[in-house]
Amino acid sequence: MILPALPALIPLITIIFLLMNFRRREWQPWIGLTGALLQLVLAVYLAVHIKSHGILVLHTGNWEAPFGITLVIDSFSSFMLILTGIIAVSISIYSIEAIDRQRQSFFFYPMVHGLLMGVNGAFVTGDIFNLYVWFEVMLMSSFVLITLGGEKKQLNGAIKYVTLNLVSSMLFLAGIGLLYGKTGTLNMADLALKMSLAENNILLNTSAVLFFVAFSIKSAIFPFFFWLPASYHTPPVAITALVAGLLTKVGVYAMIRFYTLFFVQDQLFWHPLFLWIGGFTMVVGVLTAASQYDMRKILSFHIISQIGYMIMGLGIFTVAGIAGAIFYMGHNIIAKTNTFLVAGLINRVKGSYDLKSIGGLYKTHPFLAILFIIPAFGLAGIPPLSGFFGKLVLISAGFSAGEYVISFVALAVGLFTLFSMVKIWNEAFWKAQPDDKLTEAPKDEKLPFSMVLPVVLLGLLTLTMGFAVKPILSFAMDAATQLLNPHIYIEAVLGNSINPEIQ
C-alpha cells in the first residue's frame, strides 16, 4: 500500500508542478494552495484509516524491515500530519497577499513545499538515518526561506540559525554512527527490539546523549535555544509563522519518538532530566519574553517557553502525560502560528511590530482585537480555549505522578504568559496611538481577505479544540497508549520476525 509514502510525495509533486509553471507567476499561489489542500485531505483520511485498521506500514521496494527503508504512520504521526496540513493551507492562503512578488520570484512556493516535504517525511519515516535526511531537507528549505529577500537582518539571523542547526546535524549523525556500530541496525522497530533484549544498555547512553543534544538544539530547548529568537523575527511574518509553527515541533516529535520507543531503559536518569529541562525552558522563555517590545520577539521567546510544556509531558512519562504533550503540541502549533499571523495584520495596519510605536487598534479595528484575543488567551491557558485543557491535562498528570515542582512551575509560567499577552493587548489595542511615533500605514487600507481568512479559521480551530476537547484528547490518549507500548509499533513493522519472548 502506497499510502504512507504520499505525505512526502504530494509536496514533491507540487514542487515539480510549481517549477514547470514557474514563468506563470499568477499560477504559483494556486498550485501551492492545491498541494497544501491535498496534504490536509490525505492526512485526515490517514487518521481515519489508522483509527479503523491500525498502524500503516510500507516496506519500499518490497524489502522487509530492517533491511529496506520503512515508512510507518501511527496515531501520533497522523496527528502531526493533520496539523502540518492545517498550517500548510493557512500559510498558502495568507501568503497570496503577504508575500511580495519579488520574494515569490525567488522560489518561495517551491521552498515552502520543500519544507513541508521534509516535515512530513520526518513524521512517516521508520528509519533514523532517513529521519536525519528529512531534517536536512527541512534545514535547507528553511534556510532559504529565512534569508528570502537578502536583507541584512535576515542574513545575520540566518547565520546563527544555520550554524547551530548544522552542529545539531553533526551530533545527530554521530549518534547514528555510534548506534549502528553497537546494534547493526537503524530501523526504529528493530532498534527497539534489539535494545529491549540487550544486556548492557548503559553502553547505548552515549548515543542517547548525542541525540538528546541534537534534538534539544532543533527544538530550542534550554540551554540551546538562543538561535531561535535571533532568527525567527527577521523574515516576513508568513515565513516566521510557518517555521515557528512546525520546525521546533519536529524536534519535539523526534525526542518523544526516540525516548518512548528505544531509549527507555535508563528512565531514572532521563525522566528527571526532562522535567528539569522542561521547567528551565518554560521559565527562561517566558521571563525573557516579558522584557521585549517587538511583537515577533515576544512571540518567538514564547515558542521556547511553550516547548517546555511538551518536554514536561515526556518527563512525566505516563499515558496522561504523553497525551497532554501531544494535545498541547497540537494546540500550540495552531495558536502560535495564528498569533504570528495576527502580528502580520497589525503590521499591515500600523506599519510596525514595535509596541511602543503603535496603539489605538481597538477603536479602529475591533475585529482584529477579537482575532488576537483568541490565540493569545489560548496560549495563556484561559478557559475554555484549547491551551487551558492542554495545561490542565499536563498539570493533572504531574500531580498524579507526584511531580509537584514542575506542576507548580507550569502554573506560574501560565500566569507570566498571560502577562505577555495582556502587554501586547494594552500596547497595541488599548492605549492611544503615540503622536510622536509611527502613524497609520498609508491609506490605512482594508485588510486583505486572504490574510484575514486563515486567521479566522485558525481561531475557530482553537475554539473547537476547547469546546470539542473530548474526541481530540481521546485521539491523543490513543497515540500516547501506542507510544508507551512499543511492542505495538514493533509488531506492526517487523511482523512475524519479532521474538515471541517480548510480546
Q: So what's the pLDDT on residue 189?
A: 93
In whole angstroms, give the CA distance from residue 63 to residue 66: 8
Residue 439 has pLDDT above 70, yes or no: no
Q: Which residues, 6+ apart, have CB-to-CB distance to 269 below 8 Å?
A: 205
Question: In this structure, how many other beta carbons lie within 10 angstroms of the beta carbon of residue 95?
Answer: 26
Q: Which residues, 6+ apart, have CB-to-CB distance to 426 below 8 Å?
A: none
| Stated pTM of the model | 0.93
402 dihedral zone (left: phi>0; alpha: psi -120 to 50; beta): left
pLDDT band with cut points at 50, 70 and 90 for residue 283: very high
* H helices present in 317-435, as ranges: 319-350, 361-364, 366-380, 386-400, 404-424
pLDDT digits (tens, 9 = 90+) for 218-236: 999 998 888 888 888 888 8
3 state DSSP class of 57: strand
Q: Which residue has the higher pLDDT, 445 or 370?
A: 370
Q: Which residue has the higher pLDDT, 458 or 444?
A: 458
Q: So what's the pLDDT on residue 311?
A: 96
- Region 461-488: mean pLDDT is 94
In whole angstroms, give the CA distance from residue 150 to residue 157: 11
Nearest alpha-carbon partner for 498 in 199, 294, 194: 194
Residue 440 has pLDDT above 50, yes or no: no
* H helices present in 184-266, as ranges: 188-197, 205-219, 227-231, 237-261
In whole angstroms, give the CA distance from residue 375 to residue 334: 8
CA 392 vs CA 386, 467, 472: distances in Å = 10, 14, 14
Q: So what's the pLDDT on residue 442?
A: 44
Nearest alpha-carbon partner for 247 in 376, 91, 465: 91
Q: So what's the pLDDT on residue 68?
A: 85
- Region 133-146: mean pLDDT is 92
- Region 234-245: mean pLDDT is 91
How many residues make up the chain in this entry?
503
In whole angstroms, give the CA distance from residue 9 to residue 232: 28
Residue 150 has pLDDT above 80, yes or no: no
The fraction of the chain above a pLDDT of 70, given in percent, is 95
pLDDT digits (tens, 9 = 90+) for 404-419: 999 999 999 999 999 9
Question: In this structure, how many other beta carbons lie within 10 angstroms of the beta carbon of residue 51?
Answer: 12
Per-residue 3-state assignment (H helix, E strand, C coil) for 326-355: HHHHHHHHHHHHHHHHHHHHHHHHHCCCEH
pLDDT band with cut points at 50, 70 and 90 for residue 437: low
CB 373 within 8 A of CB 339: no
Residue 188 has pLDDT above 50, yes or no: yes
Angle at 169 between CA 68 and CA 95, to 5 degrees: 95
Nearest alpha-carbon partner for 333 in 39, 132, 36, 79: 79
pLDDT band with cut points at 50, 70 and 90 for residue 502: very low
CA 123 vs CA 77, 79, 111, 416: distances in Å = 5, 10, 19, 32
pLDDT digits (tens, 9 = 90+) for 94-130: 999 988 888 888 889 999 999 999 999 999 999 999 9
Nearest alpha-carbon partner for 236 in 341, 309, 122: 341
- Region 443-472: mean pLDDT is 89
3 state DSSP class of 432: coil
Q: So what's the pLDDT on residue 379?
A: 92
Q: Which residues, 6+ apart, have CB-to-CB distance to 379 below 8 Å?
A: 302, 306, 332, 335, 336, 339, 387, 417, 421
Give me 380's grid cell.
495563556
CB 309 within 8 A of CB 394: yes
- Furthest-apart CA atoms within the chain: distance in Å: 75
Domain ranges of the chain: 266-467
In whole angstroms, give the CA distance from residue 400 to residue 394: 10
pLDDT band with cut points at 50, 70 and 90 for residue 250: very high
Q: So what's the pLDDT on residue 500?
A: 42
Q: What's CA 468's distance to the chain center, in Å? A: 22
Q: So what's the pLDDT on residue 66?
A: 84
pLDDT band with cut points at 50, 70 and 90 for residue 497: low
